Chains A and B, each alone.
Chain A
């Protein structure tokens, strides 16, 4: 019984990390159709932000989150205004352009901060373990889970309960008509991209204490996050959350019975089969083209 709970909790923890990274990507891909390969690099920048704010200014991880969010969001805005906005009618080309941006960011960081691994300390408050259902869990992982839930709720509110979200959804549904009603579509897209990038920055900063920080760290994340988003269904926030949880649980259970590599391979095979039979995503119910 304890093992079962242990595995379920591991899965939830893995899933919450996946969702943390995928959330920003889901918003950008879901609303703008842009496949942002630089998403992993935005996360990497967040991680370096946490490291440098801590290293040079002595700021704790939690305190630096605000700076990181706005810093990476600003960068996202610049990227959107200077490159992405010319590619809205060529979605597949965004893969190439954002990948180019990604390697530029990687190299810039390598030049500025060096290529060696960096380590970010966990907030001292959260280093302990918490006893949950008779299983001890790392406090930091519980914190990440709660943080993701809060972030998810905030994003949902932003999308469905604010004027900005209404405008964004209007632009997504029909850009021209929305513009006829006086919505500044360019501005909405720019801010959405910035928000997605900012979320990536937060994700990187929060993951930094769990893993080592390196200029290449983003590549693996972006691919995993991308699978989560596509599997969950484009334009469905709850779908993204559900698929992140599903993939987290699958990785945890398969990793328990086999090894981590085989678990990852099997999860990917499952994703391939699912995408083949439900390209609209597992959890999207309205299909309109």
Chain B
């Protein structure tokens, strides 16, 4: 049987691109129907979290690396942006040359050296991506060269996350400790000021999400993407074919970290603060849950999973009826999804497709 090709793409890929494009177009159209800036801010937040879940889908669903420390890249990106925006504020209590207020409270006299470069926005944007990537490259090389797999990957990533979280809380004079970095300036780029409660920030987030989504889709469709899938399903066989499994896994791990780093930076812009809870264990576990609910093997599925779950949390926790029971409901939903929909909501789509195909054939 010969497959029909559309612009040199297989039918499946073409449909996927159409669906992804449609979803992104819907994101861009949303502000036309939502005039409320408060709601827009909340939707931007959902989209950012969708982006992190998508990043996890890339490493977990497509390469079999269960990263329980996705919050590490996310939090580092977030802190990079927060540091830069903090330096741009006009603090009420200022030390010499605009020292951030929490440093003044902690008797720090000079801006520490690792804060200095964040005066430059170009550096910040690069740092927000490449600090998580370099760290991921190191951790990835460390784990995958030693052929660490499965649960042990989960443990190592989780432990790294906890270490980072402890250090950030401990180094209060330089990181703001428990309180994180608050009272930030607004992000400015190309002469546009991105107010967190405005359409501009929403579009910024939607644009970043679209770009990342399509870049990751391209990666999964490339040869490297195929090899990653093969590694996920049968690692040893791929190794016997002579591929450098560790290098490919590190690649997926790094790209995932880059996307999470970008999402982290956006999160600071949307939330207007950075907090050690971004590197907390509960958030990272939640990311895994979103990814599982949406469908770990589908980038768009994971994104939508995060948006749906977080959106549901937001909606349920607000209504008086579910104020106290929404966590209970969410817990039950997770358990049911894991039991009956191992591939999440995206798996549901596939089940329907198969049904239709059966009827046709």
A interface residues with partner B (beta carbon < 8 Å) = 35, 37, 83, 86-87, 90-93, 95-97, 99-104, 106-108, 110-111, 219, 223, 226-227, 230, 259, 261-262, 264-265, 268-269, 271-272, 275-277, 279
Contacts and interface: CB of A to CB of B under 8 A. Distances in A.
B142 interface: yes
Contact of B328 (A99, A107, A272, A276): A107
B169 A227 contact: no
B212 to A, nearest CB: 24
Q: Is the contact region of chain B dominated by helix, strand, or loop, or is it mixed?
A: helix
A90 B292 CA distance: 13
Contacts of B163: 265, 268-269, 272
A39 to B, nearest CB: 14
A180 to B, nearest CB: 28
Interface in B250-294: 281-282, 285, 288-289, 292
B288 A103 contact: no
A96 B333 CA distance: 11
Contacts, number: 116
Given A223-B162, A230-B151, A111 B325 contact: yes
Contacts of B314: none
Given A275-B148, A276-B146, 8 more contacts: A37-B285, A93-B342, A95-B68, A99-B334, A100-B331, A111-B328, A219-B282, A276-B156
Most buried by B among A37, A108, A279: A279
A219 B151 contact: no
Given A87-B338, A226-B155, A277-B146, A262 B170 contact: yes
16 contacts: A86-B339, A95-B66, A97-B338, A99-B289, A100-B289, A101-B331, A108-B328, A223-B162, A227-B159, A261-B170, A262-B166, A264-B162, A265-B166, A269-B163, A272-B163, A279-B148
A107 B325 contact: yes
A107 B335 CA distance: 15
Interface residues of B, number: 40
Contact of A96 (B143, B152, B334): B334
Most buried by A among B150, B166, B324: B166
B156 A275 contact: yes
Interface string B274-318: 000000011001001100100000000000000000000000000
B208 interface: no
Contacts of A97: 334-335, 338-339
Contact of A259 (B170, B324, B333, B335): B170
B319 to A, nearest CB: 16
Contacts of B338: 87, 93, 96-97, 100
B22 to A, nearest CB: 29
Nearest to A106: B327
B247 interface: no
